[in-house]
Amino acid sequence: MNTKAKKQAIDSVLVHLLDSRQAIKKKSSSFYFAFSRLPRYQAFSIFVLYDFLRQLDDAADTGNADAFNALVNSWQTAMIAHDIIVTSLSTIGEKVAYIFHVFDIDAQDMLDMIAGQKSDLNHVSFETVQELEVYCYQVAGTVGCMIYTILSGKPIQMMKQDIINVGIALQLTNIIRDFHEDLLAQRCFIPKSLLQFDAKLSSEDIMLKKEQDIKKALQQLSDIAISHYNCSSKIIQHLDNKTSQFALELSIEVYKKILLKMIANKFELSDQRVFVTRTEKIMLFQAIAVKYIVA
């Protein structure tokens, strides 16, 4: 399907995608900030996809297997349909399947994502950094591949590993940022090879007795993330459209800023989540925009 046909296909159902735009604007302000400037057919498609993935993630994190399976089944059932019709009654899974067909997104990316989310649903822990990176690929590298397909409008195979690497960097940033919050919820994503502690200890005791070990492990994960973030310029340059380049670079740089702030704070362990302020977002926006205006 060419660009004009994709635009027409999404424009024809745009009214039924509005809920996802509002959900992302409310729940993921940084994500909305980065991608809302795309043409509507791309922006709304990405918002619906991300809305579905957020719902899947929430169901997995809260252990709601019924909601998780309902989302998965809705998408899988719609994917095998010969003709998907999106209406006001369509489920989020049906809308995502429609977007998959319009943009010819590889269904394996979603299947790998679902496998990763099942790790969260089943509270799987990781023995090694390699196991953690596989998980990061599943829950974030796949997202990068799906979004990049919408942005690029062309096969992504030659860029796929670089896209996956950036996705891993984004997820490692999440894991580092949310370490304390996850620990309070009896969940630790840091591999056992980097951090060993008695499972019987309370989260407060772990934070107190293992603080230096925790910071050292977080530093090691941040080193990996920074290395993977270095792939971002390559995938951005591969995009033909400057609007898509700008949106992708902005989304990556906002997340990278979170990691850089944590590094600057020497991974201070706190229940206060690190975030990028609105002023910082605007400064990033201006700095990146100048590059494309000059170019």
Reply yes or no on whether the pLDDT at 275 is more than 60.
yes
Q: What is the pTM of this model?
A: 0.92
Q: Which residue has the higher pLDDT, 213 or 77?
A: 77
8 Å CB contact between 72 and 92: no
Contacts for 247 with CB less than 8 Å, ≥ 6 apart: 34, 35, 37, 38, 151
Q: Which amino acid is at 49?
A: L
pLDDT band at 36 (very low <50, low <70, confident <90, very high): very high
Q: Which residue has the higher pLDDT, 81 or 15?
A: 15
Q: Which residue has the higher pLDDT, 213 or 271?
A: 213
According to DSSP, residue 16 is labeled G
Q: Which amino acid is at 210?
A: K
Q: Can you give the pLDDT at residue 1?
A: 86
Q: Which of 176, 202, 193 is nearest to 266 (CA)?
A: 176
Reply yes or no on whether the pLDDT at 167 is more than 90.
yes
SS3 content of the chain, % helix, strand, coil (to 5): 75, 0, 25
Pairwise CA distance, residues 256 & 169, whole Å: 8
Pairwise CA distance, residues 293 & 295, whole Å: 5
Q: Can you give the pLDDT at residue 262?
A: 95
